[in-house]
Amino acid sequence: MAAPGRPAAPALPAGIDAVDLPADAIEVGRIADAWGVKGWFKVLPHSADPQALFSSKRWYLQPSERGAKTFSGTVLLRVREAKEHSDTVVARADEVDDRAAAEALRGARVFVPRSSFPTADKDEYYWVDLLGLDVVNREGVALGKVKDLMSTGPQTVLVLEYEAEGKPQERMLPFVSAYVDGVDLPGRRITVDWQPDY
C-alpha cells in the first residue's frame, strides 16, 4: 500500500524472470527513467564508453539501494535494442512494452557478466580488471594494491592502498606507458617504473 498522498510504485511487467546474479556480474549502469511512450528506458552508464551495455543482450537488474522498490532480488531483462543518446544510453527490452512498464524499472542497477564484455585491444584494460592487482616496481618493491582508478582528463591514475607504520595509506600513480612497464592480468600484477618515496 502506498503512503498517503503518494502514488503506488508501478509493478514490474509480467515475463521478467527472477534469476541468480552471475558470479562474474559487474554493475555497469543505472536505469534513470522511462524514455518515450513505447517502453524505451534511459540508462546512465557508469563508463564514458558503455560498450558493455551494447555487447550483452541479457541485463541483470537489482533494485536501487534507496527509494521505492518495485522488485527484490535479481531479475533478467532481455534487451532487444540499446543505443547512445546524448550522454546516456536508451534501450528497450522484450518484456517492457509501454511507458508504465519502463517507469517500473526506474532506479534499477544494471549488471552484465564480465564474460560478455567486448575484448579489449592490446594494451587496453577494463578498470574492473585492474582493481585488486598488486603493484611492484622494477626492483620488486611492493607499492600497494589497486584500490581505485581516477580519470583526470588526459590520463588515468591508479589509486594504490598500502600500509606504513601500521596505518593504511594511499599512493597515486599515473597509468601511462612512461611509468607502467607491464600488466599481468593472470598473475594479478602491474610492474611500474616508480619509487616508494615519489
127-192 classified as CATH 2.30.30.240: yes
Between CA 96 and CA 12 the distance in angstroms is 9
Of all residues in the chain, the percent with pLDDT exceeding 90 is 59
**Looking at the domain 17-116, which fold is it?**
Elongation Factor Tu (Ef-tu); domain 3 (2.40.30)
The pLDDT tens digits of the residues spanning 153-192 come to 788 899 999 998 899 999 999 999 999 999 999 999 999 9
Domain layout of the chain by residue ranges? 17-116, 127-192
pLDDT score of 143 more than 80: yes
What confidence tens digit (pLDDT) does each residue in 59-116 have?
999 998 877 777 888 999 999 999 999 888 999 998 898 999 999 899 999 999 998 8
Contacts of 93 (CB under 8 A, 6+ apart): 39, 59, 77, 78, 79, 80
**Global confidence as pTM:** 0.72
